[in-house]
Chains A and B, each alone.
Chain A
Amino acid sequence: MTSQAKTARKRRRSLSSRLYTWLTSMNLAIALLSILAIASVIGTVLQQNQPVNDYLIEFGPFWFEVFNTMGLYDVYSMSWFVAILLFLLASTSACLIRNTPGFLRDIRSFRLNAQDKSLRAFAHSRQYQSDLPAATIVERTQGLFKQLGYKARVKEREGEILVAARKGGMNRIGYVLTHLGMVVILVGGLMDSKMYLKTLNTLGVVEVETRDLPVSQVPEESHLPPGALAGFRGSVNIPEGKWGDVAFIGLKDGYVVQNLPFKIDVEDFHIEHYDTGMPKSFNSQLKLTDKESGEVIEETIRVNHPLRYKGYNIFQSSFGDGGTELEFDAWQLFGKVGTKQELEGKVNQERTFDFSGEKHTLEFRDFTLFNVNPTEGPDGERENTNFGPSVTFRLRDAAGQAIEYENYFQPVDFDGTKYFLSGVTAEVGGQQQFLFIPADRNDSLETFMAFYATLKDRDEITRIAVDLVGQTSQGQQGGAAQSAAARSIADMVETFVEQGFSALAEQVDRQLAERDMPPEMADQAQESSFRVVQSVLMRAYMETLQDQGVEEFGDRDEDFFEKALDVVTVIPNYGSPIFVAPSSFNHIQSTGLEVTRAPGMFWVYLGSLMLTLGIFMLFYIHYRRLWVLIKPAGVNDDGDSAHHRVVVAGTDARKNIDFDQAFAQFSDELQRQTESNNQKNPPSHPDNPGRSE
């Protein structure tokens, strides 16, 4: 062939070999380990796979885009991240390929060609003189090696005898196992990763669906037939008594639908609670029906106890509400106050209603069976009290503004008095505040609502005011004056009911300010105005009670009056034209299942086993070599005759003080056994690393 061809080939070879040396360089290895570590941090500080809007809100449009293009919302399945892993895989494999053959050859050889000079150049090396015959020295050396668990070989070469020994070759196997294990783990992990699915998506084989649709309406191109993916992790929520035969796999800002070769019926879902109301364990009674064979498997799964079938795993991962049916009374707080409407609803559904021409929507979001809260027991110890079931819903007005409420079914007892609770969360993530409506004698809202109705009824109030004035101003003249007084009283009451006490106080002050009078008189006037309002309210309350058919008036009712007035003054800020009083429910839960297929798992576990074994071998089996070279030394420098010069040298694959000690002990012992005396020590080579020769 031509010389150009030769040089070209050489260049090519040298290029590939350069690549190879680069791949196997320790610098790259360490760089990769560090880079991988740093890259991993990103995904932990930035919550992954959240709804797109959350990110938009968090970072604003600009940074949102930047991060989005960098793929920081799903770092771990980003191509650049996977690339790092592949690099580590390549590098580790390359190291293996480079080192393994050498290592394996090395642990079989005894290095019988070691020369006097090189042995004396070892970091661990001694030499001394013995007057014993060579055979004896050899014999005792071998005995010593045996005792220390070394394998030894003897080689006689011209005029000198070399005894070479080694032990701990498993350390090298450890190296292979460790790194091979790592390779196997990475391969297994990549098998189960989203890499393949993403490729299918980029090739346009599957489309990502972003809309929230029922499965039946998800277009075909977002469906994956069974077995399309070797490995996947999907999830699905199935209500009690319903079934499903797909799993949703989150991808980009949407999902794809993985069709399953079987149908999952959720026959029953069950939660056990601690007395703290915390779920203790939850389990689903499942019926699997194989679509081909028709085979049926019935099994109950719970957290940490999945169901495995034909390489598919079904895990109990979460639970939610599957559309609990609710009945509730909608009490009007404005307009026809005190009237109620009996309505029905469902969790995860909404219902719209018109109120004084405005359209409102009730969005039922969740139902909670137990609301266990820690409370101080009589003895000061912590206790857990259950406030009973509650329903969470949002009320959205025509403008689209929503307030979230959490209303309880039963009245809750707080030191003696029972209240109907309604938690109000004005803005998302805001503080929840509670409305405490006192329950009446027969634990209902009737009395309060009736009372409130009376207070909101201008005519009623005026009527009451009128005959109140009638009573107080006996035998005085002038109906006009009376009715005027009554009207101003009614005004005051209205202010109080609509805007609360402070507003009332202001109004009174204003009126008094108009007709200027000395302060002490003003105070009296104010006082009396309040008293008048008070007594009107009281009368209204009494009448309500009579309507309710209550005869004698106890201090329990007195107390109710106080509590009721507190509520009355805050209702204007309650933010809802109606009060939803849930009355009954039919609890329907849904189970959150994780459906997975992980063919790589076996490899990951196998690799892990290799890795673990390998690491322990690497750390705790010491790969050591010792040499004893016996040379006949005729006449030494001092002129007296010596039989033999004994050169001892050793190495350990690890530089550590253990070997310093071991070597010292060995050579001392050998010196003793060979009755040798120290000779001039070899030149010490501190710079010479123990493992190189």
Chain B
Amino acid sequence: MSVPNEQMVNGYRPTSNLPSPRRVGLIDVLWAVAMLVIAGIGYTQYSESLDVYSTGTLFGAALGLGLLGWIWPATRWLVGVVAIISTYAIWQYNILGADGAVGRSALAEFQESTFLFKFLLSSQAATMWMVALFFIAIPTYFISTLARSEYGLKVGSALVWAASAMGFIGFFSRWREGYLINLDYGYIPVGNLYEVFIVFAVFTALLYLYYEKRYNNRSLGGFVMLIIGVALGFLLWYQFTRDAEVIEPLVPALNSWWMKIHVPANFVGYGTFAIAAMVGIAYLIKNKMGGDGPNDRLPSLATMDDIQYKAIALGFAFFTIATILGAMWAAEAWGGYWSWDPKETWALIVWLNYAAWLHMRLTKGWSGPVMAWWSIGGLFITTFAFLGVNMFLSGLHSYGEL
């Protein structure tokens, strides 16, 4: 077939209406640079006390935050607010601990006598704020979903952002407080059950907020906040019955760089698995109530199915990394990368379970209620790996026994 040339020449000029992939804007660059600069300042300040690992972690974190700011701009606000407030808190603590550690009583005294610390900045106060905000977020989300109040849902999100910020502020304060009590004690507060529960709450919240944005739908907030609420209920019980919040020194084996990245990696996994399970519950409820309809409160079944898959996939990927890091750590600490210690073994069990889930969904094309039930079941296995092992089984992971 022949085509007149001019038609080709003054042909159609495509002005695409396709969603263009996010370009790297000026702000994105500035933000990333800012992160690196701050890291640089930190490095020049403390270079002599930073080994290779720590330095790598420092700049790695800076790059990570820069990238995160590009993928998900909202996080910049979180980072900024936390950075400012925590810097203030740590600055105050530095003044207090100008010449070394001051001990428990002196620290307690300072926190009691300083208004800001008593009610906001001390790790205890900040953590309590976090807990409170999460608890308020639960009914806020549920009621707004029932009332179809977009405004209410926005308030819910705001509460979750605030709660996460307080979680981080408490985290950084606690980190500094360890050293104030006793220079030997100080460590990144991801070393015992109390601390990782806070990590769990914050990570789960942030992961949820991401999906909220990605699917542009807030109506699942109540369900996810519910599981966080349960976790925090346990946290409070643990604190009030066992004084879990008291900062104690680490056992030697935990004093490892691997732990510091092993634990967070794990909690991306735990967080996403928890989200998948809660979405699974929402799925089943909606399914019971007749599935998709014209004016739904909850996302479509297909969407919820998709969220479960995406969450479990992300979790599986990070859980894989976490388990590998765990093995490397074990290789350094106990002389073998795999000892079939209960905690290790349960990590494997969790991992195998989700591997099976993924295969089912992918190669057998399973979806719908069955997979939803399976996501929920998966959370029970995960919870046992996370808690049950420390409660009922003994092993090398001597920390965080109940």
Contact = CB atoms under 8 A, between A and B. Distances in A.
B303 A136 contact: no
A669 B17 contact: yes
The dominant DSSP class at the B interface is helix
Interface in A626-681: 632, 654-658, 665-666, 668-669, 672-673, 675
> Could you say which interface size class chain B belongs to?
35 or more
A459 B72 CA distance: 93
A92 to B, nearest CB: 11
Contacts, number: 170
Interface stretch (B38-46, B194-202, B340-348): B340-348
A595 B364 CA distance: 46
A195 to B, nearest CB: 14
B333 A303 contact: yes
B320 A611 contact: yes
B12 A317 contact: no
A507 interface: no
Interface stretch (A139-147, A207-215, A222-230): A139-147
A278 interface: yes
Given A303-B252, A632-B1, A619 B314 contact: yes
A615 B349 CA distance: 18
A33 interface: yes
Given A44-B393, A275-B184, A608-B324, A33 B352 contact: yes
Nearest to A593: B335
Contacts of A203: none
A656 B18 contact: no
A243 interface: no
Nearest to B17: A669
A672 B14 CA distance: 9
A82 to B, nearest CB: 12
A13 interface: no
A274 B249 contact: yes
Contacts of B321: 612
B356 A30 contact: yes
> Could you say which interface size class chain A belongs to?
35 or more
Interface in A371-398: 377, 379, 381-382
A133 B317 contact: no
A136 B8 contact: yes
A462 interface: no
Given A29-B359, A615-B316, A37 B349 contact: yes
B365 A147 contact: no
A76 B345 CA distance: 10
A594 B345 contact: no
A675 B12 CA distance: 10
Contacts of A276: 248-249
Contacts of B248: 276
Given A44-B342, A140-B12, A304-B332, A134 B3 contact: yes
Given A135-B3, A657-B302, A303 B255 contact: yes
B3 A45 contact: no
A344 to B, nearest CB: 33
B252 A669 contact: no
B11 interface: yes
B104 interface: yes
A34 interface: yes
A612 B320 contact: yes
B336 interface: yes
B306 A656 contact: yes
Closest 7 CB pairs of A and B: A594-B335, A315-B335, A44-B342, A133-B3, A381-B105, A303-B252, A37-B352
Given A134-B3, A611-B324, 14 more contacts: A26-B363, A33-B359, A41-B345, A44-B395, A48-B340, A76-B340, A136-B8, A140-B14, A148-B18, A192-B336, A233-B335, A274-B185, A611-B320, A672-B17
